[in-house]
Amino acid sequence: MPTKIGDGDDVQRLWIQKFERETPKTVQSTLKVGDYVRMVGPRRVFARGCHERWTKELFVVTKVETGAVPVTYRFKI
């Protein structure tokens, strides 16, 4: 339902109520520093057959950056 702004209404309060976004939710990371992971390997558009999806190398998580959504990770071979 639309909000009617008339004389005497708190315009600032109504603007904040309607247009200001809520603070973003915090996202929990699923990996911790020191975890070993494999990454998804490259896949061609018209690839045929059954190929392994994961890389053969193991990577170690060196840093978890939780400030942004989605959570990003730094890896080391």
Contact 61, 31 (CB under 8 A): yes
Find out whether the peptide bond into 70 is cis, omega within 30 degrees of 0.
yes
Residue ranges covered by each domain of the chain = 26-77
pTM above 0.85, yes or no: no
- According to DSSP, residue 40 is labeled B
Sorting pLDDT into bands at 50, 70 and 90, what band is 62? very high
Q: What is the pLDDT of residue 23?
A: 60
User: What is the per-residue pLDDT across 6-49, written as a single tens digit (0 to 9) for each?
Assistant: 655 677 777 777 777 666 666 788 999 999 999 988 777 777 77
